[in-house]
Amino acid sequence: GAVVSQHPSRVICKSGTSVKIECRSLDFQATTMFWYRQFPKQSLMLMATSNEGSKATYEQGVEKDKFLINHASLTLSTLTVTSAHPEDSSFYICSARDREVQPQHFGDGTRLSIL
Amino acid sequence: GQNIDQPTEMTATEGAIVQINCTYQTSGFNGLFWYQQHAGEAPTFLSYNVLDGLEEKGRFSSFLSRSKGYSYLLLKELQMKDSASYLCAVMDSNYQLIWGAGTKLIIKP
């Protein structure tokens, strides 16, 4: 149980393109979903937390207009990187949990490369 | 401030036992999690401790002492596939996960 599916697994695109990443909880209702970014050989960095039906809470330093998060249902959250640039190239990982005191279960991540 | 400390890197031998320590200072405590992350992959959940004591799950065990702000992950009968980073994370009073930087475990034959 507790499977989180994330798509696409890899994206390579030109600078200026907008990229949408989907995160789905397959066998549970994810009241909260999280979006992380991880640069090579660095720690996980939380970007934002989203609760179903409400606006995402962004961490300090994360531009909400650049990283658009939508959590429209209990099983789906999307992250859109708008007008991506090479410095946005990173490993983006989503996670989800159904209740507060429960482990977060992670998707497989999306490796984004902006040329 | 909130802080999670764990060693940056550890090396152990195949078949041996290794203990990865984690100390924490957080505003409130709602449990401690251990995750495993292989290079280039997303983390996978290993264990959750909210009460003091040892939780055993196969070759992996996790220990918690809330009074000391301390946990460890014990890996027995090490296999080469156990080479990975091990992340300690504490859930604070706001149910937010505070992540450690991870311990890179290198297993040698």
> Which bin fits B39, alpha (ψ -120 to 50), beta or left (φ > 0)?
beta
Partners of residue B101 in chain A, C-beta under 8 Å: 43
Query: Residue B67: is its pLDDT beyond 90?
Result: yes
* Six-digit token string for A76: 């789906």
Residue A53 exposed, middle or buried by CB count within 10 Å (0-12, 13-18, 19+): exposed
Query: Residue A105: is its pLDDT beyond 80?
Result: yes
pLDDT of res. B90: 96
pLDDT of res. A72: 82
What percentage of chain A exceeds 70 in pLDDT?
99
Residue A95 exposed, middle or buried by CB count within 10 Å (0-12, 13-18, 19+): buried
Query: Residue A93: is its pLDDT beyond 90?
Result: yes
Average pLDDT over residues A5-9: 97
Residue type, B93: S
pLDDT of res. A99: 84
Q: How far is A48 from chain B (nearest CA, A)?
A: 11
Query: Residue A2: is its pLDDT beyond 90?
Result: no
Start-to-end C-alpha separation, chain B: 40
pLDDT class for B72, splitting at 50, 70, 90?
very high
Q: How far is A1 from chain B (nearest CA, A)?
A: 12
Q: Are B15 and B77 in contact (CB under 8 A)?
A: yes
B42 and chain A: CB distance < 8 Å anywhere? yes
Residue A94 exposed, middle or buried by CB count within 10 Å (0-12, 13-18, 19+): buried
B9 and chain A: CB distance < 8 Å anywhere? no
Q: How far is B11 from chain A (nearest CA, A)?
A: 17
Minimal-distance CA residue of chain A relative to B98: A46
Query: Residue A1: is its pLDDT beyond 80?
Result: no
Minimal-distance CA residue of chain B relative to A36: B42
Partners of residue A108 in chain B, C-beta under 8 Å: 41-42
Per-residue pLDDT tens digits for A19-73: 999 999 999 999 899 999 999 888 899 999 998 888 899 999 999 999 999 988 9
B41 and chain A: CB distance < 8 Å anywhere? yes
Find the helix or strand (DSSP H, E) in which A114 lies: strand A110-114
A43 and chain B: CB distance < 8 Å anywhere? yes
Per-residue pLDDT tens digits for B17-51: 999 999 999 999 999 999 999 999 999 999 999 99
Partners of residue A93 in chain B, C-beta under 8 Å: 42-43
User: Distance between CA atoms of A26 and A67, rounded to whole angstroms?
Assistant: 24
User: Distance between CA atoms of B10 and B73, rounded to whole angstroms?
Assistant: 13
Per-residue pLDDT tens digits for B85-105: 999 999 999 888 999 999 999
